[in-house]
Amino acid sequence: MAQVSTLLAQIDNGTLLLPEFQRGYVWNRDQVRGFMRSLYYRYPVGSLLVWQTPVDGMRLRGASAAPGVVELLLDGQQRVTTLYGLTRGQPPAFFEGRTEPLSGLYFHLDDEVFEYYAPAKMKGNLRWVDVHTVLQEGIGPFVARISSDPELAPHLADYVTKLNRIAQIWQLEFHVEKVTGEDKSLDVVVEIFNRVNSGGTKLSKADLALAKLCAEWADARGHLRRAVGEWNAGGYRFTLDWFLRVATAVVTGDAKFESLEGVDAEVFGEGLARAQKAVDTVLNNLSAHLGVDHDRVLAGRYSLPVVVRLLDQQGGKFKDAEQRNRVLFWYLQAALWGRFSGSTETVLNQDLKACDAGGIDGMIETLRRWRGDLRVRPEDFSGYGMGARFYPLLYVLTRRMKARDFWNGAPVLSEGMLGKGSKLQVHHLFPKARLYEHGYERAEVNAVANFCFLTQDTNLWVGAREPDEYLTRVEESYPGALRSQWVPLDRELWTIDRYREFLAARRHLLAEAANALLDELLSGAAERAVEPLPPVTIEADVEDAYPEVRQLADFLSENGYARPETDVEITDPETSEPICTAEGYWPAGLQAGIGEPVVLEYELTDESEARLVALGYRAFPTVASLREYVERQMAERRGEGAAVGAGV
């Protein structure tokens, strides 16, 4: 048995740590509340499992391990980390995750509930007490304040009893089971870890693969984490799972994590290093030659493992400019038609085999057999919002073709136009205010064919002007600027009542430009941009998601779930045709890497729902139905927490 105070002291002195293969802190606020409620009422909260082992040669998570024998938490990280954070006011040295659940927890002396700080109802209310202060300083400060309050003083004895139940959590004891013995090698302990955690917070396939890799190479997770951190600092949103998938493809030629079974740690480490360099090469070329330089326009990220595999077979680089352009052609086509929108592992393996057998020619031929026609048609630009499949292509066209600004007719990417901030804005050619005044719906207002990219000054100048007024001024002052942004020059289409015809005409122009670019890349012709395209920052002038979707996203994030992508076009992987444009989309599940992808679609039909379900999505028609589903999960988790400690 070990008291809570002893466990926290062991963390402070470096004798209780985490093995590197442990995943990070994943509890949300709801789980913390449930755990604290269990402790308060003295419900069973489960035992701890530790591995007692010499520190020599062991890679640990934590800044300072004490010499000699240490104890590594195999089961109990979430509970012990929660207690440490709430008591010490900061996470332990081995912490990795979101800190929000570890601070701001309060207790109500009358209702005996735990809630996170809400100024409107808690500020100045002595019935709400800060749990951290009680655990850290004891009940004295609260007793003094309650005693001096005429309304609360008569209840002092009852309140003291309740406060002591919190303060004495320090003295509670956990049953501790220990894994010891020279026969308990790291791979044996990883197997124990996986079995113990199978009933707690679920582990993804990637987590399990990483755990096995860390059995031989303890810093595998650290290498993945550092590489992903560098890319994300540059404006992308990659995950450990994604990079592990890339490395798996490089090392094994297979997309499935199971293929890593039996791979030697040294072989994997070498492949991981090559994969990282190849990803750098791919991202640099996407940015320099297509302008794809941030996450919103990085469509088809699961095509990258195939490209990285190709480069790895060639020493980590393209053979020449012609091959590079053909690879860029393949990347754009795979992204445009939703090549990896479903059955990712199956499709990836098809393309990896094509890559190994025929290089980029084999990859293009496989894509052509799957898609049939690789031509862009006007109706393909019919989507809306920044999540539409063809939004990134509009961005690529703007950057690659050096579209011109409406303020002075200069290329929007010129140094003089961008200035120090290097910022472009998504602009509505027909201003939003004018369209809404005339009864157009949100999807039409935010049609991709109504977007262009301009500098901030231009966007402010245009404001809510009538389109025929400002477009006429631009054409007269800077001939060619409108054409460079694929704006129809028929002035009769520049009026609000002809807006739908304007969109149709612009879609034709965009499709022509897209096919010209794709043909140029496929032929391997000399690139249009001699100098690499500079990175820029995009500021959206598009409406955010519906307010209720934003509120849902905040609720999910606060409780440890993933935030959604918004206004995303979901395509059928077999036909590459759109199924719906989702108001909210969780491609990796509500908890990243766990569960099926989730779609929130307001206009869900029986047909689209049936197709989404067949493809492995979980679909919801309203925010209320999705939130009810999540709250039901949380309630079930609270029930489990009261009985067994709510996880690991």
What are the backbone dihedrals phi and psi of residue 137, each rounded to the nearest 5 degrees, phi first?
A: -115, -10
For residue 66, is pLDDT > 60?
no
435 — pLDDT class (breaks 50, 70, 90): very high
Helix-helix angle 391-400:321-336, to 10 degrees: 150
Kindly state the DSSP code that residue 425 receives in the 8-state scheme: E
Residue 504 and residue 403 share a domain: yes
Nearest alpha-carbon partner for 79 in 115, 46, 50:
46
Q: Is the model more confident about 315 or about 410?
A: 315
Residue 122 and residue 25 share a domain: yes
Cα 598 to Cα 557: distance, rounded to the nearest angstrom:
15
Domain end call among 539, 561, 585: 539
The count of other CB atoms within 10 Å of the CB of residue 365 is 13
3-state secondary structure (DSSP) of residue 122? helix
Residue 478 located in a structural domain: yes
Residue 186 located in a structural domain: no
Residue 442 located in a structural domain: yes
Residue 369 located in a structural domain: yes
For residue 419, is pLDDT > 90?
no
* Residue 275 near residue 312, CB atoms below 8 Å: yes
Domain end call among 179, 211, 245: 179
Residue 195 located in a structural domain: no
Residue 383 and residue 370 share a domain: no
* Residue 644 near residue 46, CB atoms below 8 Å: yes
Overall number of domains in the chain: 4
Most confident of 51-55, 221-225, 546-550: 221-225
Asked which of 412-416, 571-575, 636-640, 641-645 is least confident by mean pLDDT, the reply is 641-645
Mean pLDDT of all residues in 133-155: 93
Mean pLDDT of all residues in 449-460: 85
202 — pLDDT class (breaks 50, 70, 90): very low
Cα 94 to Cα 15: distance, rounded to the nearest angstrom:
12
- Structural domain including 333 reads 203-374
Residue 341 and residue 434 share a domain: no
Nearest alpha-carbon partner for 246 in 132, 130, 348, 321:
348
Look at residue 421 in the predicted model and tell me its pLDDT.
Answer: 38
Residue 55 located in a structural domain: yes
484 — pLDDT class (breaks 50, 70, 90): very high
Most confident of 57-61, 369-373, 577-581, 635-639: 369-373
Look at residue 183 in the predicted model and tell me its pLDDT.
Answer: 61
* Residue 455 near residue 536, CB atoms below 8 Å: no
Residue 187 located in a structural domain: no
Q: Helices (H), strands (E): how many in the chain?
A: 26, 18
Domain end call among 539, 571, 602: 539
* Residue 521 near residue 326, CB atoms below 8 Å: yes
Pairing of strands 568-571, 537-539: unpaired
Nearest alpha-carbon partner for 453 in 392, 363, 381:
392
pTM of the predicted structure, to 2 decimals: 0.72
**Tokens 């207002």 identify what position?**
445
Q: Is the model more confident about 483 or about 646?
A: 483
574 — pLDDT class (breaks 50, 70, 90): low
Residue 388 and residue 516 share a domain: yes
Q: DSSP for 186-223, please give it.
A: HHHHHHHHHHHHTTSSPPPHHHHHHHHHHHH-TTHHHH
Residue 190 located in a structural domain: no
pLDDT in tens, 589-624: 887 656 788 999 877 788 888 888 888 889 998 888
Which element (helix H / strand E) includes 130? strand 128-130
For residue 57, is pLDDT > 80?
no
What average pLDDT does the structure give for the chain? 84
Residue 552 and residue 512 share a domain: no
Look at residue 564 in the predicted model and tell me its pLDDT.
Answer: 85
Residue 384 and residue 370 share a domain: no
Q: What percent of the chain has pLDDT over 90?
A: 44
* Single-letter residue type at 519: D
Reduced 3-state DSSP string for 44-66:
CCCCEEEEEEECCCCCEECCCCC
Residue 139 and residue 103 share a domain: yes
Look at residue 543 in the predicted model and tell me its pLDDT.
Answer: 56
Mean pLDDT of all residues in 385-391: 80
Residue 532 and residue 439 share a domain: yes
Mean pLDDT of all residues in 36-57: 82
Residue 510 and residue 564 share a domain: no
For residue 530, is pLDDT > 60?
no
CA atoms within 13 A on the CB side of 358: 11
* Residue 385 near residue 501, CB atoms below 8 Å: no
Residue 171 and residue 258 share a domain: no
Mean pLDDT of all residues in 462-474: 89
pLDDT in tens, 214-245: 767 767 888 898 999 999 888 888 888 889 99
* Single-letter residue type at 77: Q
Mean pLDDT of all residues in 564-577: 73
For residue 9, is pLDDT > 60?
yes
pLDDT in tens, 319-362: 999 999 999 999 999 999 888 876 678 899 999 999 999 999 99
CA distances to 25, 26, 50, 207 from 93, rounded to whole Å, are 12, 16, 17, 21
Mean pLDDT of all residues in 65-77: 72
For residue 640, is pLDDT > 50?
no
Asked which of 165-169, 252-256, 538-542 is least confident by mean pLDDT, the reply is 538-542
Look at residue 1 in the predicted model and tell me its pLDDT.
Answer: 84
Q: Which two tokens stand for residue 323?
A: 């091959």
Which strands, in side-by-side order, build the sheet including 114-116?
A: 114-116, 105-108, 128-130
CA distances to 65, 233, 238, 537 from 295, rounded to whole Å, are 38, 11, 9, 11
What are the backbone dihedrals phi and psi of residue 235, each rounded to the nearest 5 degrees, phi first?
A: 110, 5
Nearest alpha-carbon partner for 461 in 425, 501, 418, 436:
425
For residue 560, is pLDDT > 90?
no
Residue 332 and residue 315 share a domain: yes
Q: Is the model more confident about 548 or about 134?
A: 134
For residue 644, is pLDDT > 50?
no
463 — pLDDT class (breaks 50, 70, 90): confident
